[in-house]
Amino acid sequence: MSLVLEPVRARSLPPSVWPLAALAGLALTGPFLAPQDPNAQDLMRVMEAPSIAHLLGTDHVGRDILSRVLAGAPHSLGLAVLCVALASSVGVALGLIAANSGALVRALIMRLADLMLAFPGLLLALLFAGFLGGGIWPMLIGLKLALWPQYARMAEAVATSVLREGHVEAARLAGFPELTILKRHVLPSVLRAVMPLATLGVGQAIMSISALGFLGLGLKPPTPEWGAMINELLPFLAEGFVQMAAPCLMIFVSVLTLTLAGQALASNSTGRAQ
Amino acid sequence: MNTVLRVIMLRIGQALATAAVLASLCFVFVHALPGDLALRVAAARVGDERVTPETADRIRREEGLDRPLIVQYGQWMGNLAQGDLGRSLLSGKPVKQELAYHASFTLQLGLIGWLLSYLIALPLGIMAGFRPGGVVDRITDALAVTLASLPSFLVGIGLITLFALTLRWLPPAGFRTGAHMVLPAFTLALSLVAFSIPVIRNAVVEVRSAFFMTYARVKGLTPAAAFRHHGVRNAAIPVVTYAALQFAFVIDGFVVIETLFNYPGLGELLVKALIARDVPVIMGAGLVIGFAFAVVSLLADLTRLWLDPRGLEEARA
Amino acid sequence: MTEAALTISHLSIHDRSGAALVDDVSLSVPRGGVLTLIGETGSGKSLIAQAVFGLLPAGLSVSGTITIGGHESIPASEPKRLAALWREQIMLIPQEPSAALDPTMRVKRQMALAGLQEEAIKPALAAFDLPGSTADAYPFTLSGGMAQRVLVASALGVGAPIIVADEPTKGLDSDRVTQAIAALKRLSAAGRSLLVITHDRRLAEELPGELAIIRNGRVVEHGPSAGLLSAPQSDYARTWLAADPRHWPRCHRCCDMTSLALSAHGLSFGWPKGGMLFEDLDLHLPKGGVLAISGPSGSGKSTLGDILLGLRRPMAGSVEWGGLDIVAMPSAIPPLRQRYQKLHQDPITAFVPHLTFARQFLALEDVKSGLSAARDLPPLLERLKVNHRLMNRRPCEVSGGEAQRLALARILLLDPVAIVADEPTSRLDPVVQRETMQLLRATVDQQGLGLVLISHDQPLLAAIADEHLALGPRA
């Protein structure tokens, strides 16, 4: 008779984990890897082509592009992660509360989510960023307000269906407290459903943050955020193709990694459900 | 047909609620900003250097900024309810006039881009759906993932680099001729295609694998007839729903794309107003965008009800 | 034997790993006659139907030939040639009739597309007791039984001489089964040759003609239906026939009504918009007794079970747990909670999907004082004939019968006074159903607990229960 817990099976990690880890590493260490001061101007060497001194060339005020791209990683990637982490935790919490509450509270939360979803895409973030003058917080608040409803909806839908399942009733009949049921029965399913959405969401957030930066409504210059860099370099597109390509590629590769990982997670969790 | 009526009422209610929230948000922002509001308005009207305490006081009296906030809020919402959006702080022109001018540009770009995107996505998505796992499917999948990972301004920059700077076939920016429309419209279309191809493909795959399609053939229909009678309508339901949803994405898209191409649409107007803190214009543009969103959602709801009888009958039961 | 309408010869179906799902099956349907294939889930019987149509799922390899009507034999591996005979020669009544209808198209247009004349549609529907309004309905407004009769009506209208019905009674309750059987008999009476695939004994007994029992992809026994049912030759056929609740030994007992596990008086319940389900209902469940509750779907059986367990409040009346009225005094529930338990219809979903059984049993120690899973569980599992290796599996990794015994084990660890079992075996195969039911009955007798058995299966209830409460059809 072996009631002993099985050893935790070393689950093979999906291959999409490694690029994700590389991205996280970049976001954490980017500024320390920068070979030069990302904000050091050198007006004698503007829009220079790549050379040994400046591997990716210089921008319109002579700053080193490679250093700026690296130093920009925590802004572009880190903020996106923070934003999605905030939005998804608020959304999941509200969704769980809605699923566990009476009709009134549920209706209140879910109608609020509907209302927020009636605002198209970037509009809220644009308004916040525009009025409050750019910077980190207006952007975070704006994006968070726009993003939480999808997590709340998904959490509410999954939690409501799990709460109707036999094992929840069995646990109630066995006398388990509601909090234990929430933790052991409901939360794992909710998180499994939310994870792919959040992974894709980080990619979307990177795009939104860079779009705000590109519009001149995101982080304030001279912060080396990728979208803002593209905005600054745009007038010099004809002269500095490599310089422009660097932040563009960074955005593309980051979002692509997250999109692929999100899709892998999504097909993984639906595959397991069958 | 009370379901149809209810859907319309729901969307109207949603549009009104959106408008109220937006207007209140603008009001709060305007009054919560640090500094004297009258001074800021004066600065916007006559220029920073020429503002004197007297002009500020005159503006304070004229605009009623010395009254209690709640009265001002009532006035603000009242004006709005009457359709009075005020004048632009920047140009001094009525906001309505500005909006009408810019909205027509956006509508043009949005419609052309949206139609173009389905012109591209429908054949590709359907071809991919007919042979899941085939060559077309794998190519379109790679294309969709790539495009989905590119913010629209990157797509635009890529197109400008290729067609305007390198090949010199098309003008990089502006709005005067039809040639100016090509790059912005394609940029918008490619951003939309990234998401509509998989939706169309999956709809086709799902319908083709539905048992009623097989059964239609057991009943004696040819594969083509089965798809014509049973496939098209069922596949159209998710596609139509999604096509309308994409309007939300069009908005992210056109704000950025118009700015990139210097195209004088609503998005460009909104961004300029945001940078200049031109509150009446910001609010007006926000309201028009929010309202357009509600209208498109309503059209999508109605189309879906028309295509899919389940919605109607379930609501009736 | 008369000339065959449909002959299947040496049909074998293998999956990718090479395992035989159907192994050298040769059968034939006589012209104008009926052949019923019966077998458990996974016996390969539905694959045979799919092979006849060339509709096997991708990845299976098939050999053997199909001969339809006077046509030449067609290798089963050439689905295109089989497809050429669809509608003109052979028609299918599929397992899930609702999925066979386009959800966005009215019934009459779908029947017209199948080739029925516009004016023939309503009479065709009427012949199968479907109202004329069915023609204008969308498929999702029809019940499974109605959708099936629409397909039967179309099949008759189309004129194919051979009709294959795959699981025509699956998911139908007892009255609807009678209707489905009548519909099939009408097809037979109209001169069509029928191949019927089923797991339902009733169908095998009521349809005339021949019967073949399939097990593990082989024909175990084949012969005229009446003879096979009354004098089965093979061991499997005998076990299988004995699994019919009507052949179980009766085990009614007269119970001691002085010691009640559960009782209820004057219970009433109805949905806000749907009228009353039941009114002024009295019931008594003695310790060591089995009370059956039956009724058609929608009659409120499960709701009554939930009321008895204190999971739902009745509109009027009382429920007494050991003399305490839990309706008037909800505070009496928590201390007695663990002693009133439920056995679910789908035992696999009664366990948390992502945890092993071992973990889920261990967790019970948190809520049941004095329980030691390591000490109490092994003898229990032995008694319930559960292999202890199952403990390290997750719910999706065991069979329905195993999961139901594990669910019973979990409940018994909580030392219950009464158990409400809601259709506990409706998703199990007959032989497993019999084992599970006998186990339940034995547990009730040994432990002296009360069992409320909710089911729509009258013979099953008659075989197992001491008392019977029938809820009426929904008003």
Query: Inter-chain contact C99–B307, Cβ cutoff 8 Å?
Result: no
Cβ neighbours of B161 in A, within 8 Å: 237, 241, 244
Looking at residue C140, its pLDDT comes to 83
Rounded Cα gap, residues C101 and B97, in angstroms: 54
Q: Give B240-298 as a DSSP string.
A: HHHHHHHHHHHHHHHHHHHHHHT--SHHHHHHHHHHHT-HHHHHHHHHHHHHHHHHHHH
Does some domain include residue B270? Answer: yes
Catalogue the E-assigned strands of C69-144: 74-75, 90-93
Reported as a single tens digit per residue, the pLDDT across C309-367 is 988 899 989 998 888 888 888 888 888 888 999 998 888 888 998 888 988 998 888 88
Q: Which ranges in B33-151 belong to alpha helices (H)?
A: 37-46, 53-62, 69-81, 95-130, 135-148
Distance from CA of A249 to the nearest CA of B (A): 9
- Residue ending a domain, choose from C188, C213, C242: C242
- Residue ending a domain, choose from C207, C242, C277: C242
The larger pLDDT score, comparing residue C29 to residue B176, is at C29
Q: Is A212 exposed, middle or buried (0-12, 13-18, 19+ CB in 10 A)?
A: buried
Query: Inter-chain contact B211–C92, Cβ cutoff 8 Å?
Result: no
Looking at residue C257, the DSSP 8-state letter turns out to be T
Cβ pair C11, C73 in contact under 8 A: no
**Average of pLDDT values for B184-202?**
89
**Average of pLDDT values for C253-282?**
80
Q: What does the angle CA A9 – CA A13 – CA A18 come to, to the nearest 5 degrees?
A: 150
For the cut 80, the answer to whether the pLDDT of residue B41 exceeds it is no
Whether residues C423 and C458 share a domain: the answer is yes
Query: Inter-chain contact B212–C113, Cβ cutoff 8 Å?
Result: no
Does some domain include residue B75? Answer: no
Does some domain include residue B291? Answer: no
Q: Which chains touch C (3 or more CB pairs under 8 A)?
A: A, B
Looking at residue C191, the DSSP 8-state letter turns out to be T
Which amino acid is located at B194 in the chain?
A
Residue bearing tokens 């809020």: B73
Does some domain include residue B233? Answer: yes
Does some domain include residue C60? Answer: yes
- With an 8 Å Cβ cutoff, is A242 touching chain B? no
Whether residues C291 and C236 share a domain: the answer is no
For the cut 90, the answer to whether the pLDDT of residue C420 exceeds it is yes
**Average of pLDDT values for A43-58?**
74
Q: Is C124 exposed, middle or buried (0-12, 13-18, 19+ CB in 10 A)?
A: buried
Cβ neighbours of C53 in B, within 8 Å: 218
Reported as a single tens digit per residue, the pLDDT across A59-108 is 777 788 788 888 888 888 888 888 899 999 999 999 999 888 888 888 88
Looking at residue A269, its pLDDT comes to 62
SS3 content of chain C, % helix, strand, coil (to 5): 40, 25, 35
Whether residues C75 and C213 share a domain: the answer is yes
Does some domain include residue B201? Answer: yes
**Average of pLDDT values for A219-225?**
79
Whether residues C296 and C381 share a domain: the answer is yes
Cβ neighbours of B219 in C, within 8 Å: 86-87, 91, 113-115, 154, 158
With residue C469 as reference, give the H or E element that holds it.
strand C467-470
What backbone torsions phi and psi does residue C22 show, to the nearest 5 degrees?
-130, 130
Query: Inter-chain contact C102–B221, Cβ cutoff 8 Å?
Result: no
Q: Give C385-453 as a DSSP string.
A: T--GGGGGS-GGGS-HHHHHHHHHHHHHHT--SEEEEESTTTTS-HHHHHHHHHHHHHHHHHHT-EEEE
Looking at residue C347, its pLDDT comes to 86
For the cut 70, the answer to whether the pLDDT of residue C239 exceeds it is yes
For the cut 60, the answer to whether the pLDDT of residue A13 exceeds it is no
**Which of B:40-99 have CB within 8 Å of A?**
none
Number of domains chain C is built from:
2
Whether residues C182 and C307 share a domain: the answer is no
Whether residues C284 and C232 share a domain: the answer is no
Whether residues C335 and C424 share a domain: the answer is yes
Question: What is the bridge-based pairing of β-strands C162-166 and C20-30?
Answer: unpaired
- pLDDT tier at C473, thresholds 50, 70, 90: low
Distance from CA of C350 to the nearest CA of A (A): 4
Which amino acid is located at B154 in the chain?
L
Does some domain include residue C232? Answer: yes
Kindly report the CATH number assigned to the domain that includes residue B236.
1.10.3720.10
Residue B69 tokens read as 């906030």
Looking at residue B248, its pLDDT comes to 61
Q: What is the dihedral of CA A160, A161, A167, A169, to 10 degrees?
A: 50
Query: Inter-chain contact A184–C377, Cβ cutoff 8 Å?
Result: no
Strand order in the sheet with C340-343: C340-343, C418-422, C450-454, C290-294, C467-470
- pLDDT tier at C252, thresholds 50, 70, 90: low
Chain B's closest residue to A228, CA to CA, is B153
Cβ neighbours of A167 in C, within 8 Å: 349-353
Does some domain include residue B258? Answer: yes
Q: Which chains touch A (3 or more CB pairs under 8 A)?
A: B, C
For the cut 60, the answer to whether the pLDDT of residue A5 exceeds it is no
Number of domains chain B is built from:
1
Does some domain include residue C251? Answer: no
Residue B311 tokens read as 């919605």
Whether residues C180 and C327 share a domain: the answer is no
Cβ neighbours of C366 in A, within 8 Å: 176, 180
Whether residues C188 and C275 share a domain: the answer is no
Cβ pair A146, A161 in contact under 8 A: no
Question: What is the domain extent for residue B197?
Answer: 95-275
Tell me if the pTM is above 0.90. no
- pLDDT tier at A8, thresholds 50, 70, 90: very low
Size of interface B-C (CB pairs under 8 A): 67
Cα atoms in the Cβ-side hemisphere of radius 13 Å centred on A162: 29
Which amino acid is located at B93 in the chain?
K
**Which of C:303-342 have CB within 8 Å of A?**
309, 311, 334, 337-338, 340-342
Kindly report the CATH number assigned to the domain that includes residue C276.
3.40.50.300
**Average of pLDDT values for C40-67?**
87
Whether residues C304 and C201 share a domain: the answer is no
Question: What is the domain extent for residue C278?
Answer: 260-470
Q: Give C134-186 as a DSSP string.
A: GGGS-GGGS-HHHHHHHHHHHHHHHT-SEEEEESTTTT--HHHHHHHHHHHHH
Cα atoms in the Cβ-side hemisphere of radius 13 Å centred on C415: 9
Mean pLDDT for chain B overall: 81
Chain B's closest residue to C91, CA to CA, is B218
With residue C10 as reference, give the H or E element that holds it.
strand C4-14
Does some domain include residue B175? Answer: yes
